[in-house]
Amino acid sequence: MVRLPASVPFLFNALKLSACGSIVTSLVAEWLASERGLGYLIVDYGQDYKIPELWATALLASGISMAVYGVVVWAEHLCTPWKRNRHSSI
Q: Domain coordinates of the chain in residue numbers?
A: 18-86
Please answer whether residues 36 and 30 qualify as being in contact, where contact means their C-beta atoms are separated by less than 8 angstroms. yes
Q: Return d(Cα 57, Cα 72) in angstroms, integer.
A: 23
Q: How far apart, in whole angstroms, are the C-alpha atoms of residue 34 and residue 2?
A: 46
Query: d(Cα 59, Cα 79) in Å, to the nearest integer?
Result: 30
Torsions phi, psi for 36 (to 5 deg):
-160, 165
Please report, in tens digits, the pLDDT of each residue of the chain (90 residues total). 567 777 888 999 999 999 989 999 999 999 999 889 999 999 999 999 999 999 999 999 999 999 999 999 999 999 888 777 665 555
